[in-house]
Each structure stands twice: as structure tokens, then as C-alpha cells.
């Protein structure tokens, strides 16, 4: 995988920072998340709290986020800072098999279930909701980026890490 160039990183950081400060961005994302929660509830996937969903390398999947999602995440995390632990191959917000940012986790986390019966509906629902997220970028005038979760966290760390929260 080719590492992003410095210009792309700066653009993403600026877009996320700007989006994080816009209430209409957070409200739009929250509406999409609310609709997603309702659809998932209808499907009733089983979660056995194994933590496999957060161990990307071990379980063989990737989580991606959009600029708008990162904006909302950065905003929400600044309100409730968390200690981040090094977690090679997994999510740095997983501690003892649990998600420490569950209340404001990104779309992909809300959509993915290890439950084998979820596979047939997950892909179509993912594409539909991702399409809404992508359209929301255009409607709100926010540059669209689709970045692997851990890479997005690395690129925006100064926006959500403890020193940034203290400076705010």
C-alpha cells in the first residue's frame, strides 16, 4: 500500500478539523447512525462480545471511515478523552475485548457483526448507508475521503489525542 503524500494528509486533517466544528455535520451523521441502528435492530444480529470485530488482522477485515465520520468522532472524543493503547493489528480503542468509544464509534463498527447470519444483509446495507454518507459530503461541502481506520487515526491524532484536548 502506498503511503499518502503530505499534501493529502494535510487536506484530510484540515477537512476533519473543520467538519468537527460544524454542528450540522454532527447532526447529519447522527441521523444516518440512528437510521442504521434501527435497521440493524430489525435484523437482530448476535454479538457475543468476543472482540473479534476490533482485531482486524486476526479476523481478516478492514474498517474504513469517511471525512464526516472522522469529524464527528474527533468532536465526540474531545468531549470524553480516552487513553489509547497500542494494539498492533487491532483497534487502539479496544480494551479487554470491549470498545471504549462504543457510543460514538464509526459507521463500519456499527455495521459489522461476526454473526454468520449477518453476511447476506450486511453488504447491501453497508453500500446503501455508505452511499448516504458519501452524498452527505457533497451536500455539506466537505471533501470526501475514505481512509482505513487506523491510518485515519494516525493522520488526525493531533486533533483527538490528549495534548490536543488539553490545548482546546
Nearest to 128 by CA among 36, 24, 29: 36
The domain spans of the chain are: 6-163
Angle at 90 between CA 89 and CA 94, to 5 degrees: 155
Summarize the confidence of residues 133-154 as an average pLDDT. Answer: 93
What is the structure's pLDDT at 21? 92
What is the structure's pLDDT at 108? 83
Give the pLDDT band (50/70/90) at residue 167. Answer: very low
Is the pLDDT reported for residue 115 higher than 50?
yes
72-111 pLDDT, tens digit per residue, is: 999 998 888 777 777 778 888 888 878 888 889 898 888 7
Amino acid at each position: 500500500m502506498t503511503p499518502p503524500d503530505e499534501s493529502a494528509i494535510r487536506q484530510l486533517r484540515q477537512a476533519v478539523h473543520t467538519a468537527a466544528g460544524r454542528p450540522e455535520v454532527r447532526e447529519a451523521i447522527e441521523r444516518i447512525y440512528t437510521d442504521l441502528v434501527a435497521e440493524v435492530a430489525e435484523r437482530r444480529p448476535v454479538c457475543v462480545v468476543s472482540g473479534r470485530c476490533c482485531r482486524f488482522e486476526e479476523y481478516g477485515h478492514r474498517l474504513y471511515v469517511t471525512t464526516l465520520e472522522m469529524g464527528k468522532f474527533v468532536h465526540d472524543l474531545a468531549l470524553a478523552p480516552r487513553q489509547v493503547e497500542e494494539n498492533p493489528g487491532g483497534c487502539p480503542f479496544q480494551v479487554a475485548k470491549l470498545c471504549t468509544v462504543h457510543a460514538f464509534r464509526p459507521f463500519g463498527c456499527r455495521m459489522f457483526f461476526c454473526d454468520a447470519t449477518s453476511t447476506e444483509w450486511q453488504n447491501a446495507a453497508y453500500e446503501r448507508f455508505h452511499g448516504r454518507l458519501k452524498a452527505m459530503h457533497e451536500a455539506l461541502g466537505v471533501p470526501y475521503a475514505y481512509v482505513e481506520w487506523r491510518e485515519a487515526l494516525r493522520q488526525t491524532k493531533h486533533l483527538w489525542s490528549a495534548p490536543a484536548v488539553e490545548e482546546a
